[in-house]
Chains A and B, each alone.
Chain A
Amino acid sequence: MAGDLEISLDKLPIKRLDAIEENGLERFPTDVGYDEKRVNLIRRIDFAWALEREDPSKKQKSEGASAKEGATSSQQQWQWQSLVENLQLAHQELSVIIDLINTVEANDAVTVAGMTRPKQLPYEHLSDLSVSTATKLQCFRNLGKYFKQSSKALEEQIAREARFYGALIRLQQNWKIKRHRLVAAASGNEGFYIDLFDNSLYDLASVFRPSSMSTIPIEHDAAGMLTVNLPRKSCQSLQFEFLGLNSAYNLRKSGETRMQEVSSDSSRVHGKENATDEERVTEIHLTLREVHRAIHDEQVFDLVNREACNPSLRVNLTGIKENYLRLSIGEGSSVSLTLASSGQDDQPIVASDRNTVETSNDTSEKSGVSRQLGFEIYLRQLFHEYVFVRAKSKAIPLLKSQIPGQPPKDKSNILGHFCMSLAHRIFSNKVLSVLENLVHRTPYVQLISHPTWHSRTSSWTLSVKIPESILHAAIQIQTPGVGNVKAIRSQFWTKVVVIDDSISVQGEGAPNVLSLFKGKSEGVSSINGYDCDLADLPIILLQQVASQIIQWLHEEALTIGIKANRDFLSLAFELEQGEIARLVAHVDPEDAQGCISWWLTIDDGLTEEHKLRSDMSYFESQSRKFLGYLPLDLLHSTLLDFLNLCSY
């Protein structure tokens, strides 16, 4: 009977070939799922024969059972017979089951789902329980140890994180901190980064080249503290230099000192691992500010670049390199703008060879540095004010105040304004030195400077002041009847205004040329104004001052009763014999003694052309005498001398 039983099970779980094609290509059956596989496996067991046999045997059994009830006492042998049959059947079933179990054991594709165990006796149960409890206890102990360890580690971890996030929160108060989830997953970092790009400048964003520094990744250092890493070299700063002036080395020197400062700074950071969090955060703030400034500098440089390329009023681009611009601002002076990296590679060399030059004139260098620095700040400041601040303020009330097609006027020409301010400053310094030179050598002239509130305008006043002593003396000499007629002016002024590079001189006391030709002197005290250039300035000012003094002498002469006629730069007195004595002012800005000197000429009143030539002649003759430089009191006493000579 056992021979009839056939179970065919697929023992190999490997894939079987479905077919091999003619070209040798092997075909595998499509993958089957686990459930399907199990169903397939079960299907392969052919229970058909057992079922067929079972049904009749059941019938037989039920027949047998009924028959057994019917004839238990009468048919004893049948009873045994049925037992045998039942045993055989049982054996059969058992062998099937054992076979099945064996097969299942041999094949790991099928698992035994469950098996009921015989019920244990209480003591067996207890011993089992105790064993498992002991094992469990051991496990719990291990687990406890593990938890202790991991709690310690976690505490450390939390402390580290607290440091990190504490610092992060404090940075967040001042900086825009963002997070990249993708980066976080990839690098194992949290993926925080600091965004230094200013969103409010969005409309300017197209202008600027994207800076590599606008996002700065935040990292953990070994101690769990927050660090920002950025290559030092990428931090660029704007440097401004005057070219042509001998202070070109100044900024190089300063660049060097700064760099040293930076490097010592960084070494301090690295050396001081045990610096407090406070200090570390401050350091980071500083670094970030530095970067922020570098970005701003880059942007300013870009804007300057952009503007420099547009032809503008006063600025000429004369040189361009990478991160270097050279601009000519007129008057033969030029400036350069460099976007220099504060890296350590090339700087020291430049610095060292410039160092030798500078030791010689240390004093002039100081003012040079401050001036250049001042302009450097001014340039940044201008762009900040007119581009960045404007852009920000425009971003907010955009709705109402935007008029299409009307570009902001000053935005387009900031560089022009800057260069003109610069040129003006250079020029006005020249003018000032001319003025100071004049004032230095002409003691009765005083220089007053006026605030103009504008970077491209300068203004000074030259005032000629007649000392009180002379005036008082004059009053004493005056005869009472005449003296009250007219008060004598004691002060004359000449205003010098420089706007950009044009000088205008405005002064009183100079005679009006037109009225001089007409022979009248009424127009004398009117105010004259004229433009001039730097070369003519000393002459014009001296003429102005000289004519003011002549004006004063004239008024004085009239007051004390001398008949006098004034000309442009001379005062003529009629002497008793009909001769005419002239006091002629001679102006010479180069004269070291005094810029205004005086001639005395005497002619017989017939040769009129002397009047015109007199101040051009440099040699003395019988009729002319060089008096040299005369202070005001001497001039005044000379005038008094004429009082005796003059005919009444």
Chain B
Amino acid sequence: MECVVQGIIETKHVEALEILLQGLCGVHRESLRVHELCLKSVPNLGLVSSEVRLLCDLEQPEPTWTVRHIGGAMRGAGAEQISVLVRTMAESKVSKNALRLFYALGYKLDHELLRVGFSFLFQRGAQITVTVSSVNKMLKLHATDEAVPVTPGIQLVEVTSPASSENYNEVVAAVSSFCEYLAPLLHLSKPGVSTGVVPTAAAAAASLMSDGGGTAL
């Protein structure tokens, strides 16, 4: 399982967000360049249709591949109340033949995208990963060099943390308390619940870029 929240931020404030994250996490940022291929099963494959994502990390000198399956979100009254989406997620490193394997299994490429940005990985109550990336689409198949942004001027911020059915409450608490620190710059919510950009972002970014940025605390 994983806990996840998302938000968007204007590209012009990303630098400020990076400073803030740097301070909050204490770790160095990691560059991010991921080619994401979303594969869907053809109708007669399996009992229900399934969707897997193949992630190719282009940041490494040698691209590494990961397959990820995102399952259904936790439902019910308890899940409604928390501000973080808890969903099942399984992922595994795979060899570079994975795409061929899935094609052979009967999956079809649904869409592909390229995420470019940075991430912070740190320990804070839970293992939290903050990813700030711009999502790009490819005009030609697999042409990652000619990708164009899907939403120019807007970047996606995603906070995820692995969890299990035993500890997800603590993880949710850790994630949501972390999200509060980002509040002046961006608002994070469950995926699918769009909250838009935060009106205070410009002021918060300006104060981060100029002074000690104390407003965040």
Contacts and interface: CB of A to CB of B under 8 A. Distances in A.
Contact of A377 (B22, B62, B123, B209): B22
Contact of A451 (B60, B121, B206, B212): B121
A453 B30 contact: no
Interface stretch (B12-20, B107-115, B139-147): B12-20
Contact of A258 (B20, B25, B207): B207
B210 A380 contact: no
A238 interface: yes
A449 interface: yes
A258 B213 CA distance: 10
A339 to B, nearest CB: 11
A410 to B, nearest CB: 13
Contact of B212 (A371, A376, A463): A376
B93 interface: no
Interface string B163-183: 000000000000000000100
B208 interface: yes
Contacts of A296: 214, 217
A454 B127 CA distance: 10
Interface string A219-260: 000000000000000000111100000000001001101100
Interface of A is mostly: helix
Given A370-B15, A421-B26, A449-B30, A454 B123 contact: yes
Contacts of A448: 60-61
A381 interface: yes
A384 B217 contact: yes
A452 interface: yes
A374 interface: yes
B102 interface: no
B61 A447 contact: yes
Interface in B1-37: 15, 18-20, 22-28, 30
A548 interface: no
Given A376-B212, A453-B127, A293 B22 contact: no
A381 B127 contact: no
A447 B62 CA distance: 10
27 contacts: A237-B212, A238-B212, A240-B212, A254-B212, A257-B211, A258-B210, A261-B206, A293-B214, A370-B15, A370-B18, A373-B23, A374-B19, A377-B19, A380-B23, A381-B24, A381-B26, A381-B181, A384-B217, A447-B61, A448-B60, A451-B27, A451-B119, A452-B27, A454-B27, A454-B122, A454-B123, A458-B28
Query: Closest 4 CB pairs between A and B?
Result: A377-B23, A374-B22, A455-B26, A446-B61
Interface of A: 237-240, 251, 254-255, 257-258, 261, 289-290, 293-294, 296-297, 369-371, 373-378, 380-382, 384-385, 421, 425, 428, 446-449, 451-455, 458, 463, 465
